[in-house]
Amino acid sequence: MTNAFDKASANALHWVEKTGLVLIAFATVIAIGQEVMVMVGQMKVHLADLLLLFIYLEVLTMVGSYLKAGSMPIRMPLYIAMVALARFIVLDVKGMDNWQLLAVTGGILVISLAVLALRYGHVRYPYSGASINEKDDL
């Protein structure tokens, strides 16, 4: 009985996970459409708009990667965080004092160093669970 329960609960969690990923992808596509409509309505594209679209595309890439491989490289959310911080700087640089700007750029640097350390670790110390893209994608 425990085996049947474990199998049923694993199957239910699998479908909840897939449904959640599809909802995230659907919501992201809607958000892309809304942002494009704003740009068309203003007849102007700003750097912040492009960075936001890039974040949306990274989210879609992350969802696609997770659906295809069943796992997600930790680098993807780190890339999204770096772009989000860069977008924050672009939007609010005039309202920031030097310390705030330094803190945000320091955050980008720390995240960049984390990505570098992860990439180095994947190349230098590959593990059996890594996909080919994880090992060779430098």
- Do 33 and 96 belong together in one domain? no
| Residue 107 structural domain | 73-138
What residue type is 88 in one-letter code? F
Please report the pLDDT score of residue 73 as a whole number.
80
- Do 105 and 129 belong together in one domain? yes
Please report the pLDDT score of residue 138 as a whole number.
39
| Contact between residue 46 and residue 81 where contact means Cβ atoms under 8 Å apart | no
- Do 19 and 79 belong together in one domain? no
- Whole-angstrom distance, CA of residue 93 vs CA of residue 58: 24
Q: Residue 58: count other Cβ atoms within 10 Å of its Cβ.
A: 19
- Do 60 and 4 belong together in one domain? yes
Nearest to 85 by CA among 108, 66, 64: 108
What residue type is 114 in one-letter code? A
Last residue of a domain, one of 17, 49, 71: 71
- Do 22 and 56 belong together in one domain? yes
Last residue of a domain, one of 39, 71, 103: 71
Last residue of a domain, one of 71, 93, 128: 71
Cα(first)–Cα(last) distance of the chain, in Å? 47
Q: What is the pLDDT along the chain (138 residues), one digit of tens a residue?
A: 578 888 888 888 989 999 999 999 999 999 999 999 999 999 999 998 999 999 999 999 999 988 888 887 888 899 999 999 999 999 888 899 999 999 999 999 999 999 999 999 888 888 776 554 544 443
pTM for the complete prediction?
0.75
- Total structural domains in the chain? 2
Please report the pLDDT score of residue 22 as a whole number.
94
- Do 59 and 83 belong together in one domain? no
Please report the pLDDT score of residue 131 as a whole number.
54
Residue appearing with tokens 């049947």: 4
Q: Residue 114: count other Cβ atoms within 10 Å of its Cβ.
A: 15
- Do 129 and 98 belong together in one domain? yes
